[in-house]
């Protein structure tokens, strides 16, 4: 399992990092995004959508729950992109009401899910995990973020469950995102 740890110095760079990450995505991929309110999850998604040539304005689907966009893969084929925000989901039954299971298991789309912890056990066994954290130690620099990207396979521990003390990799020890 590879881990990429990146550093962002603001919204524009978070968008750029999302764009670089998107070069790895394929039809059927699921990306779950962890982070506090205002961490930059939607900015990262904007970068992914920019790379995938989405023409629509990309906004947080906090109230609509799911936004659907049309994008383009590197081979020129079109792909559906589902941007999901589960922040307001309180019960598993609500996932069925919004069609979450059908969407998250769609093999012909790319799915980007914010607040995936609200999905409980409704996630597939393989996905990308992106965790965006404010750098608390950098006082006076509110825009600095650490972005950890990990490919999760069956029965692996997601990034958000690993303490930063256990994960001592640095960006310089990792290959760059292609």
Give the DSSP letter string of 70-95.
EEE-TTS-EEEEEEEE-TT--SHHHH
- The answer to whether position 120 is within a domain reads yes
Distance (Å, whole) CA 25 – CA 35: 21
Burial per residue of 113-130, b for 16 or more beta-carbon CB atoms within 10 angstroms, e otherwise: bbbbebbeebbeeebbbb
- The answer to whether position 161 is within a domain reads yes
Mean residue pLDDT across the chain? 85
Residues 71-93 have a mean pLDDT of: 94
Domain count, the chain: 1
- The answer to whether position 178 is within a domain reads no
The CATH number for 105's domain is: 3.40.50.300
Question: Does residue 174 have a pLDDT over 60?
Answer: no
HSE-CB for 95 with a 13 A CA cutoff: 21
Beta strand pairing call for 78-85 and 109-114: parallel
Domain that residue 141 falls in = 3-173
Residue pair 52/31 in contact by the 8 Å Cβ criterion: no
- The answer to whether position 62 is within a domain reads yes
pTM, 2 dp: 0.82
Residues 1-13 have a mean pLDDT of: 91
Phi, psi angle pair for 104, to nearest 5°: -70, -25
> How would you write 21-42 as a 3-class SS string?
HHHHCCCCCEEEEECCCCCCHH
pLDDT digits over 84-130, tens only? 999 999 988 899 898 998 999 999 999 999 999 999 888 888 999 99
Task: Determine how many CB atoms are found less than 10 A away from the CB of residue 171.
Answer: 12
- CA-nearest of 159, 144, 165, 132 to 3 is 159
Residues 128-146 have a mean pLDDT of: 83
- The answer to whether position 92 is within a domain reads yes
Question: Does residue 169 have a pLDDT over 80?
Answer: no
Residues 47-54 have a mean pLDDT of: 98
Residues 51-61 have a mean pLDDT of: 93
């Amino acid at each position: 399992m590879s881990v990429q740890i990146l550093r962002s110095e603001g919204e524009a760079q978070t968008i750029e990092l999302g764009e670089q990450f998107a070069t790895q995505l394929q039809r059927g991929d699921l990306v779950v995004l962890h982070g506090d309110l205002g961490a930059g999850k939607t900015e990262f998604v904007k970068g992914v959508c920019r790379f995938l040539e989405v023409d629509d304005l990309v906004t947080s689907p906090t109230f609509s729950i799911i936004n659907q966009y049309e994008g383009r893969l590197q081979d020129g084929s079109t792909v559906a992109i589902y941007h999901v925000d589960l922040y307001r989901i309180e019960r598993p039954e609500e996932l069925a009401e919004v069609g979450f299971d059908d969407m998250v298991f769609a093999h012909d789309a790319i799915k980007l899910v914010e607040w995936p912890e609200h999905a409980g056990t409704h996630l597939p066994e393989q996905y990308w995990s992106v965790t965006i954290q404010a750098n608390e130690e950098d006082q006076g620099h509110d825009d600095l973020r650490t972005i950890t990207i990990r490919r999760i396979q069956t029965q692996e521990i997601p990034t958000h469950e690993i303490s930063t003390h256990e994960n001592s990799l640095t960006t310089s020890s990792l290959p760059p995102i292609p």
